[in-house]
A and B are shown apart, each in its own frame.
Chain A
Amino acid sequence: MSANTYLTEQERRILESVKVGIAGAGGLGSNVAMLLVRAGLKKLVIADFDIVAESNLNRQFFFRHQLGEKKVDALAHNLRLIEPDLNLALHDTQLTPVNIDYVFAGCQIIVEALDSAEAKSMLLHSLLPLGKPVVSAIGLAGWGGSNDIRTRRVGRNLILVGDQTRDVRDGFAPVGVRVSIAAAHEANAVCALLLGEEL
């Protein structure tokens, strides 16, 4: 059974066999995970150390009754409401240069879905030298500017989404209407890479 009844047999085989890592289960990661499950992926590794807070409900794939729950557990529950037959590895932990290789070992693609610039930088500098594709979203806050969010290839193995400009530290709020655009770019890039389509 697949959440996506539109898949060809070949697409289904590919999407169900790969394991994708998602670093962060917030505005980007929870929506990327939701979209990838709807696309037909079955195997995800999800890492986040946070709990669901009221300020998350403007953009993240959680519900009010889940406030206070661990994000990885709440997300796994919500993903299984879409597709019960999932292979999810959940890591309720903060990613560091020491554990990040271990957490995402065995993943063909890793999605950067963190929020702080420090954490994003840590992930990119830790994982890019390994050579696996990394899909990262940088610059997604504020209202409007839909077409400023782009997907581009940087170097051999970085797929960079976002406007690379709007920083929440400069007063741009993370709002769901725009964060979701970036999350959809990330999820679409993952599917394009896996299916051999253009980004």
Chain B
Amino acid sequence: MKIKYQGKETETDAPTIAIFLEENGVVANEVVIELDGEIVAADAIAGAPLRDGSDLNVFRIVAGG
């Protein structure tokens, strides 16, 4: 299926956000995840399905303040 990831069309067969992030080397506990305009809670990504056309944005939480 095709999803939009960070604004770019991306091919994936990952059934959930958690699996997609793992396959893309993203550590899930230091990110904010937005799926189709909604923030997905950290404890919900394992059960959050990706579908054809999903719009996924991942924002890294980096240090500094």
Interface residues of A (CB under 8 A from B): 24, 26-29, 113-118, 120-121, 124-125, 128-129, 137-141, 154-158, 160, 164-169, 172, 174, 179
Contact = CB atoms under 8 A, between A and B. Distances in A.
Interface stretch (B9-17, B18-26, B37-45, B46-54): B37-45
B59 A168 contact: no
- B interface SS class: mixed
Nearest to A27: B65
Contact of A117 (B37, B39, B41, B62): B62
Given A121-B30, A154-B32, A115 B42 contact: no
Contacts, number: 79
A165 B65 contact: no
Contacts of B63: 115-117, 120, 167-169
B65 A160 contact: no
Contacts of B30: 117-118, 121
Interface of B: 29-30, 32, 34, 37-39, 41-42, 57, 59-65
A92 B44 CA distance: 32
A138 B57 CA distance: 15
B39 A128 contact: yes
A130 B25 CA distance: 29
Contact of B65 (A24, A125, A166): A24
Most chain B CB within 10 A, of A114, A137, A155, is at A155
Contact of A160 (B32, B37, B38, B41): B32
A121 B61 contact: yes
